[in-house]
Structure formats: C-alpha cells, structure tokens
Structure 1
Amino acid sequence: MNDFIAMLKKIKPNVDFENEDALVDDGILESLDIITIIAEIADKYDVIIPSDEITSDNFNSAEALYELVEDLK
C-alpha cells in the first residue's frame, strides 16, 4: 500500500491520501487527475480499470482504489 500511496502523491503531492475519504466528492480529484491515476495504474500494476468501475465510491479514498486494483489483478 505504501508504494500505491507514493504513486498517488507523485500525481497530486498536496493531498493527504492516507486520511482523505472524499477525494472525488470534495473535488480534490478532478477528471484529469482520475485519468492520470488510471493510466499510472495500468503502467505500474498492469491493471485496466473498466469504465463501469470508475465511480466516486472507488476513487474517494486511496484505500478503496487500492482494493479495486487488488480485486482486478
């Protein structure tokens, strides 16, 4: 999980990914950020996130996103 958080912090350095649980709902992550994260996950983890999984529930926290990636592996 630490490597995953580090990847996210490279994309959005000023975000507290360890504690934030409303990344999308609070507007912390915008559409371009989400696209960048999806691309980085594809590159680093060789995981393609299906369009029906691109939901605020899956992107509101680093933990939810990490669980999604683990489920898709």
Structure 2
Amino acid sequence: MAVELDPQLMDILACPSDDHAPLRAGTATDPAADVLTCTECGRAFPVVDGVPVLLLDEAIQPADPPTSGAVGG
C-alpha cells in the first residue's frame, strides 16, 4: 500500500538528519512502499498506521550505490 499523507504535511516534513532535506513517498525501487525517503541522504523512514516514524534510529539505511564505471565482461 502506498503512503497517502496530506499534501500540506508532505510539504513541511523533512529528514531529521542535519541536512533537513524533503521527503518523498516510497523508495526509488518501490514507489508503493510504506516509507518516506529522504531526497538527500536516502534514508527510508517507516510509516506505521499512517504515522511517519521520523527517528534516525528507526530509519532504514540506503543500500550502497552501484560502482560506476564497472563493466562486466
């Protein structure tokens, strides 16, 4: 189920880390995930019963990005 929060709330929610970047619903690979993802650091914050849990200790750390320039062969 995709996260459905009030658009005005989404406008003011931000990542609790020092960069305070905006959040987007879902993840890059799963837009229907019940999480809010930081647009800067990539942490995913769970949404439980419609309430975002914006605690750094509860955040899902982003996966390591793939190495650029690596060519299989």
Asked if Structure 1 and Structure 2 have the same fold, meaning a TM-score greater than 0.5 normalized by the shorter chain, the answer is: no
TM-score norm. by structure 2 comes to: 0.30
Relative contact order (C-alpha < 8 Å, sep 6+): which is higher? 1
Q: Which one has a larger percent helix, Structure 1 or Structure 2?
A: 1
Larger-Rg structure: 2
Q: Which one has a larger percent strand, Structure 1 or Structure 2?
A: 2
